[in-house]
Amino acid sequence: MNADDNMRSKGNATEGPPAIEVRGLSLAIEGRSILHDVTFTLDRGEFLCICGPNGAGKTMLLKAILGLGKPTLGTVSLFGLLPRDGRKKVGYVPQRKNFDRMFPARVVEVIAAHLAGAWPLMVSSAARDKAAAALRIVGGEHLLDKELRDLSGGELQRAFLARALVADPEMLVLDEPMAGVDSKGITDITALLDGLAKQRRLTVVMITHSLSVVEHCATKVIFMEGGTVMAWGNPAQLLHDPRIRETAFTGHDHEHAVTSGKGEY
Partner 1 sequence: MIEFIGEILAQDFMLRALTGGALVAIACAMLGVLVVQRGITFVGDGLAHSMFGAAGIIALINAIFGAAVGADAGGGAYGAFFIWAALPLNVLVGFAMAWVRRTGKLRGDAAIGIFFPIMFAAGVLCLALRRNSGAPPLNMEALLFGSVLGMTPADLMITAGGAVVIAVIALTWGRRIAYAAFDPDLAAMSGVRVALAEYALFGLCAAVVAFSMRLAGVVLVSSLLAIPAGAASLWRGSYGAQLLFASLFAAISVKVGLILAYWIDVPSGAMIVLTMGALFFATMVVRALVATDASH
125 part of the interface to partner 1, by CB under 8 A: no
Q: Do 43 and 11 form a contact (C-beta atoms < 8 A)?
A: yes
Q: Report which DSSP code applies to 150.
A: G
Of the candidate spans 114-122, 131-139, 180-188, 198-206, the one that interacts with partner 1 by CB under 8 A turns out to be 114-122
Read off φ and ψ for residue 223, nearest 5 degrees.
Answer: -110, 120
Cβ(83)–Cβ(173) under 8 Å?
A: no
What is the SS3 assignment for 159?
A: helix
**Site residues for partner 1, window 50-89 (CB under 8 A)?**
63, 66-68, 87-88
Which x/- pattern over 152-191 shows residues binding partner 1 (rule: CB under 8 A)? -----------x----------------------------
Residue 31 is a binding residue for partner 1 (CB under 8 A): no
Residue 87 CB, shortest distance to partner 1, in Å, is 6
State how far the Cα of 143 lies from the Cα of 156, in Å rounded to an integer: 9
**Binding of partner 1 at residue 130 (CB under 8 A)?**
no
- CA dist 237 and 6 (Å) reads 11
Q: Does the protein bind partner 1 through residue 196 (CB under 8 A)?
A: no
Residue of 21, 46, 109, 170 that binds partner 1 (CB under 8 A): 109
Nearer to partner 1 by Cβ, of 91 and 235: the residue is 91
The SS3 assignment for 177 reads coil
- The DSSP secondary-structure symbol of 180 reads T
**Distance of closest approach, residue 89 Cβ to partner 1, in angstroms:** 11
For residues 257 and 247, give the distance between their C-alpha atoms in angstroms, rounded to a whole number.
Answer: 13
User: Which stretches of the chain bind partner 1, using CB under 8 A?
Assistant: 63, 66-68, 87-88, 90, 92, 94, 98-100, 102-106, 109-110, 113-114, 116-122, 147, 163
